């Protein structure tokens, strides 16, 4: 039996796992995907929001502002690419200028620092590619950009290093409490038991919650389409550019990514299918039309991929982070939509504190607070890189030519804690396959490495677990089977 | 730092031909840098026949064609390094390269020949809506998997794009036992060679749907079906024309673009049309001493022309090394313009004082033209007017400029290549 | 009289050739621009042939497959039979370009030969 089971290895579950790994407790994370970061956490804007959007006094506002504050230290501790590039909410209609003041006031009330309202000239000077129609902007220097995969992966790796167990491909099918109040979780991989359960199941958090509570909740998957543009045009804007928000959210942003691409998105469409992360022609067209309103000359010829993500939208647009009233020892982290990524460290801290008090947990003496990321040889000097290759020749073998990712980095991604087992797993950890050729060149080569290192037959190597096999069979039928 | 007279980036058909001709032109110190584990480039996976009709007057397969040049490189004892990625080229011709065996190192070259070839346009650039499941490949990736690695991606195939690789793969997959259900082409014409449409599609009863595109991809983990629809003349899908095909594989053959990362890093002036460098009559780029040839310069239809062009680049690079820069400010340099259906020309300028007696100018057209004329104008004077029964975007065209016709025209500013109805 | 439209594949020109024939007797050929077209059309309407290219399993080499071709054209209706023979054969490394992999494949008198070297 575990002391605590966390359902979901997304950014929320992983953050909670890391915070709890400080304490002497038996902890397990159950994840239905084949890896960490396979749901909402993998497809979002990758923005560390300043915190002026959420309603004053809301959990969302508190977590956002606290998460933003924590991010600098966390990024340093866990070796995560993070940059405070600042955000601008751009007003393009004179009559809407008051809206900027409203946002500003809300931001101040929420505790956002350094907010400033810019006039048209100031805004254009800071960001020359803003629309001609710009009337003014709210400037939030504390806003940042981060690698959402690495944030999630780093927290999970660190938790694992501190003793948290992770079970992948493990879907929770039913949860019941026995007479002693012990939770029994039935999964496709057998039964798990725990004293406490933390529900961090993203868009599925309602299903998990509703297994144990009569007070039903409903999470609506809110789909957002994105376009990712080539690094060649990553500098089209320097700041994260938002339109003024509407009741559907923060609108279509244009932003550099921490890796130097340009991202445009998301749309906002409420759907029913909790796995419905398909892009639509209407969505992409809508995106392009909307983004063009605030940023001029968007170089859309340079799109290298489009994708869609699902936000876990709860009807009250508020984070639900508390013990479920009619299910003692069952804690929800539900409705974690944007700014969920920003808030994740704060949610972890909050839940960690909550659990410490509830379970009277004691701190480990030897807790490891730092995690070393995958070595990026591109950040080394010529001499250091040459030295590295001399020592470890795999770093001299480029596998992904678009992003210049070497075999050494891929080997690291495979062999570190919670290592990659699929093409997407390698991609999220190393960026191999994330460049302009979108894995055309490197896929067969990464497959060979996975095959060699993990002994997974080529036919069983997947893009992202499940039935996402890349190749079906050997050519030449039976005869071709033996290699 | 290691030094070489000529460093050739890429050991495919362009790099091999450039190396051999540079050697024949008298350069001893040549180094080919190849990123794959063998010479030959993309030809190694092009196991179909049809290569070399112009060069060798016989039909060879890709590996055989490559080997004809590899043999020459071996005979000439030209140095090459495999598994080597070139990371950077500077304007001073310092090449930074890297491999497992040699580590990270720099080479000072007297001339560099870019011969990195091209790459396929990925799906993302095409923005096909739908899921992002496994089972979607560029045709070239599938070709490598099937022909080199010996793996079948799937059994029921839909192909988007009728570029040559897509057509070739339609036949290849069929011969390996797969069912190719349809080839959809966005344009009202195929970008592939006629021969391939006949022998790869017609022979096997595979339908080619022109003016069609994929509008939806189904399957969350693995692709299970696609929907294709007819498009109007602006490329927009026409509602009501959707047809759904179940499949486990979608191949994308949506065109090729020059591999231009290194060209950009070297600060070379690039053409917005070809996506490759702009070059002079000597195939030299805007950076002194850096030459370009083959598909890195502009995407060719036949490898024979790649070899021919690369041989010229090798010869000219050799001349540059042996004689140094010969161009003078007083030279008569004329711009070559492509208009009225002609999309671009390679080269885009010609130095009349330095050009050879004959200069091959290659270009492509932007649409299908029937019974039209390829014309060459020296400013307003038409000097060439040749009837062509068919001109198609998939096929490269050429005209040959004669030095003697250009000499003595001191006021000549522009040579224009255009397509005329009569 | 039968009229057949074929696309010449002799070169990238892809001439549209019209062949008029009576049974197996060719009455006229039009649309070709060279002798290759004429020859192709005569053959294509009466006795179509193709070169088949594929791969063969190779054992003990640096690669698992060696590319092969029919050293000449074979009758079009024998393509799949030929492929069956190619699928069933297996060779040991090393292989050299031109090595005969299958002699007289499916009774066509044509050999299947290797088109690359495998060490």
Residue C12 within a domain: yes
**Dihedral-angle region of residue B398 (phi above 0 means left; psi in -120 to 50 means alpha; beta otherwise):** beta
Residue among B47, B202, B203 whose CB faces C53 most closely: B47
Residue C11 within a domain: yes
Q: Do residues C110 and C65 both lie within one domain?
A: yes
Nearest CA in chain C to B203: C76
Q: Do residues C66 and C97 both lie within one domain?
A: yes
pLDDT for A483? 42
CA distance B151 to chain A (A): 4
**Which 44-63 residues of chain B touch chain C by CB within 8 A?**
44, 47-49, 53, 59-61, 63
CA distance C111 to chain A (A): 19
Q: Is C89 on the interface with B (CB under 8 A)?
A: no
Nearest CA in chain A to C64: A483
Best C67, C72, C80, C87 member to test B by mutation, with max B CBs in 10 Å, is C67
Best A458, A476, A481, A482 member to test C by mutation, with max C CBs in 10 Å, is A476
Low-confidence ranges of chain B (pLDDT < 50): none
From A290, A313, A310, A309, select the one nearest A244 (Cα to Cα).
A290
pLDDT for A420? 98
Neighboring chains of B (3 or more beta-carbon pairs < 8 A):
A, C
The ipTM (two decimal places) reads 0.92
Q: Where are the beta strands (DSSP E) in B241-286?
A: 243-246, 249-252, 256-258
Q: Do residues C84 and C39 both lie within one domain?
A: no
CA distance C84 to chain A (A): 9
Homologous superfamily (CATH) of B1-119+255-326 is FAD/NAD(P)-binding domain (3.50.50.60)
* Residue-range domain boundaries for chain B: 1-119+255-326, 122-254, 329-422
Q: How far apart are alpha carbons B264 and B244 in whole angstroms?
A: 41
Contact C55 A476 (CB under 8 A): yes
Contact B15, B113 (CB under 8 A): yes
Q: CA angle A292-A235-B276, nearest 5°? A: 95
Nearest CA in chain B to A378: B87
From A263, A258, A260, A15, select the one nearest A146 (Cα to Cα).
A258
Q: Do residues C101 and C57 both lie within one domain?
A: yes
Residue C69 within a domain: yes
Contact A244, A99 (CB under 8 A): yes
Q: Is A386 on the interface with B (CB under 8 A)?
A: yes
* Full residue range of the structural domain in which residue C14 is found: 2-47
DSSP classification of residue C118: B
Asked about A204 being catalytic, the answer comes back as: no
Question: Which residues does A30 contact at the CB level (< 8 Å), separation at least 6?
Answer: A5, A6, A7, A8, A167, A170, A171, A172, A185, A187, A192
Q: Give chain B positions within 8 Å (CB) of C53.
A: 47-49, 61
Residue among B67, B195, B302 whose CB faces C116 most closely: B67
Q: Do residues C57 and C92 both lie within one domain?
A: yes
**How many domains is chain C built from?**
2
pLDDT for C91? 95
Q: How far apart are alpha carbons A475 and C56 in whole angstroms?
A: 9
Q: Do residues C70 and C35 both lie within one domain?
A: no
Our separate counts of H helices and E strands in chain A read 12, 23
Low-confidence ranges of chain C (pLDDT < 50): none
| Single pTM value for the model | 0.93
Homologous superfamily (CATH) of B122-254 is FAD/NAD(P)-binding domain (3.50.50.60)
Q: What is the CATH number of the domain that holds C109?
A: 3.10.530.10
Best C87, C89, C92, C112 member to test A by mutation, with max A CBs in 10 Å, is C87
pLDDT for B259? 93
Q: Do residues C66 and C83 both lie within one domain?
A: yes
Residue C119 within a domain: no
Q: Do residues C33 and C85 both lie within one domain?
A: no
CA distance C22 to chain B (A): 23
Q: Do residues C78 and C99 both lie within one domain?
A: yes
Q: Is A299 on the interface with B (CB under 8 A)?
A: no
**Which 217-246 residues of chain A touch chain B by CB within 8 A?**
227-228, 232
Residue-wise pLDDT tens digits, B294-346: 999 999 999 999 999 999 999 999 999 999 988 888 999 999 999 999 999 99
CA distance B371 to chain C (A): 13
Low-confidence ranges of chain A (pLDDT < 70): 478-483
Nearest CA in chain C to A483: C64
Q: CA angle A288-B261-B283, nearest 5°? A: 120
Residue-wise pLDDT tens digits, A410-434: 999 999 999 999 999 999 999 999 8
pLDDT for A481? 47
Nearest CA in chain B to C40: B195
Residue C61 within a domain: yes
Q: Name the β-bridge partners of A183.
A: A177, A194
């Amino acid at each position: 039996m575990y002391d605590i089971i966390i359902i979901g290895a997304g950014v929320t579950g992983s953050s909670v796992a890391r915070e709890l790994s400080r304490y002497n407790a038996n902890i397990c994370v159950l994840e239905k995907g084949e890896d960490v970061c396979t749901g909402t956490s993998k497809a979002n804007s990758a923005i560390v929001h300043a915190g002026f959007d959420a309603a004053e006094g809301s959990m969302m506002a508190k977590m956002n502002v606290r998460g933003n504050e924590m991010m600098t230290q966390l990024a340093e501790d866990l070796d995560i690419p993070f940059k405070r590039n600042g955000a601008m909410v751009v007003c393009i209609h004179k009559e809407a200028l008051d809206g900027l003041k409203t946002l500003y006031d809300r931001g101040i009330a929420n505790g956002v620092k350094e907010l400033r309202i810019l006039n048209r000239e100031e805004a254009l000077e800071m960001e020359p590619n803003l629309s001609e129609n710009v009337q003014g902007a709210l400037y939030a220097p504390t806003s940042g950009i981060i690698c959402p995969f690495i944030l999630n992966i780093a927290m999970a790796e660190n938790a694992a290093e501190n003793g948290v167990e992770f079970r992948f491909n493990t879907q929770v099918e039913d949860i019941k409490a026995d007479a002693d109040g012990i939770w029994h979780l039935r999964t496709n991989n057998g039964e798990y038991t725990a004293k406490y359960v933390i529900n961090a199941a993203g868009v599925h958090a309602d299903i998990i919650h509703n297994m144990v509570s009569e007070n039903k909740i409903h999470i609506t998957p809110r789909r957002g389409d994105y376009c990712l543009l080539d690094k060649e045009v990553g500098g089209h804007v320097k700041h994260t550019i938002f339109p003024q928000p509407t009741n559907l959210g923060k609108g279509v942003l244009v932003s550099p990514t921490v890796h130097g691409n340009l991202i445009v998105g998301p749309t906002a469409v409420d759907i029913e299918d909790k796995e419905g992360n398909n892009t639509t022609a209407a969505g992409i067209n809508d995106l392009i039309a909307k983004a063009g309103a605030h940023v001029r000359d968007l170089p859309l010829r340079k799109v290298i991929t489009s994708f869609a993500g699902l936000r876990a939208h709860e009807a009250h647009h508020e984070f639900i982070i508390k013990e479920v009233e009619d299910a003692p020892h069952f804690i929800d982290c539900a409705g974690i939509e944007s700014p969920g990524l920003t808030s994740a460290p704060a949610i972890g801290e909050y839940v960690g504190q909550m659990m410490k008090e509830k379970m009277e947990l004691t701190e480990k003496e030897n807790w490891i607070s730092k995690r070393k990321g995958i070595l990026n040889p591109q950040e080394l000097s010529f001499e250091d890189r040459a030295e590295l290759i001399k020592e470890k020749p795999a770093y001299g073998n480029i596998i992904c030519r678009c992003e210049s990712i070497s075999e050494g980095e891929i080997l690291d991604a495979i062999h570190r804690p919670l290592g990659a087992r699929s093409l997407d797993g390698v991609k999220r950890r190393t960026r191999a396959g994330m460049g302009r050729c979108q894995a055309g060149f490197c896929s067969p080569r990464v497959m060979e490495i996975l095959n060699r290192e993990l002994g997974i037959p080529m036919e069983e190597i997947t893009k992202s677990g499940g039935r996402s096999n890349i190749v079906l069979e050997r050519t030449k039928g039976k005869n071709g089977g033996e290699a | 730092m290691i030094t070489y007279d000529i460093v050739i980036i890429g050991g495919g058909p362009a790099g091999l031909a450039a190396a051999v001709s540079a050697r024949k032109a008298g350069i001893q110190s040549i180094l080919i840098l190849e990123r794959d584990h063998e010479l030959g480039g993309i030809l190694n996976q092009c196991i179909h026949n049809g290569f070399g009709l112009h060069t060798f007057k016989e039909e060879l397969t890709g590996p055989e064609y490559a080997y004809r040049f590899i043999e020459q490189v071996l005979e000439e004892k030209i140095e090459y390094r495999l598994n080597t990625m070139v990371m950077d080229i500077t304007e001073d011709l310092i090449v930074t390269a890297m491999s497992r065996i040699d580590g990270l190192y720099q080479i000072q070259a007297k001339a560099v020949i870019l011969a990195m070839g091209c790459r396929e346009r990925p799906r993302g650039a095409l923005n096909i809506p739908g899921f992002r499941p496994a089972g979607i490949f560029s045709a070239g990736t599938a070709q490598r998997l099937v022909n080199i690695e010996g793996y079948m991606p799937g059994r029921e195939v839909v192909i988007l794009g009728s570029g040559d690789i897509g057509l070739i793969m339609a036949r290849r997959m069929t011969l390996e036992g797969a069912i190719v259900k349809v080839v959809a082409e966005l344009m009202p014409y195929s970008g592939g060679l006629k021969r391939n449409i006949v022998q790869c599609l017609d022979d096997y009863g595979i339908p080619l749907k022109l003016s069609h595109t994929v509008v939806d991809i189904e399957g969350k983990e693995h692709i299970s079906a696609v929907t294709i629809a007819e498009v109007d003349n602006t490329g927009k899908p026409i509602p009501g024309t959707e047809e759904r095909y179940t499949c486990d594989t979608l191949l994308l053959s949506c065109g090729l673009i020059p591999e231009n990362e290194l060209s950009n890093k070297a600060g070379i002036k690039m053409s917005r049309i070809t996506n490759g460098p702009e070059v002079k009559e000597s195939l030299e780029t805007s950076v002194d001493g850096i030459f370009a040839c083959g598909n890195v310069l502009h995407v060719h239809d036949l490898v024979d022309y790649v070899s021919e062009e690369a041989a010229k680049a090798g010869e000219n690079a050799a001349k540059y090394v042996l004689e140094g820069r010969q161009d003078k400010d007083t030279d008569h340099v004329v711009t070559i313009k492509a208009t009225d259906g002609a999309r671009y020309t390679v080269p885009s300028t010609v130095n009349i004082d330095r050009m050879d007696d004959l200069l091959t100018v290659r270009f492509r057209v932007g649409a299908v033209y029937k019974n039209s004329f390829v014309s060459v104008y020296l400013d307003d004077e038409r000097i060439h007017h040749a009837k062509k029964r068919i001109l198609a975007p998939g096929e490269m065209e050429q005209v040959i400029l004669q030095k003697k016709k250009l000499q003595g025209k001191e006021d000549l500013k522009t040579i224009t290549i255009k397509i005329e109805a009569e | 009289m039968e009229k057949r439209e074929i696309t010449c594949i002799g070169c990238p020109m892809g001439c549209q050739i019209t062949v008029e024939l009576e049974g197996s007797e060719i009455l006229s050929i039009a649309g070709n621009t060279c002798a290759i077209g004429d020859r192709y059309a005569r053959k294509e309407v009466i006795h179509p042939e193709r070169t088949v290219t594929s791969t063969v399993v190779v054992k003990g080499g640096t690669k698992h497959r060696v590319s092969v071709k029919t050293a000449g054209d074979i009758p079009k209706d024998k393509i799949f039979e030929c492929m069956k023979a190619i699928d069933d054969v297996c060779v040991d490394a090393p292989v050299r370009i031109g090595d005969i992999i299958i002699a007289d494949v499916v009774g066509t008198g044509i050999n299947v030969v290797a088109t690359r070297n495998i060490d």
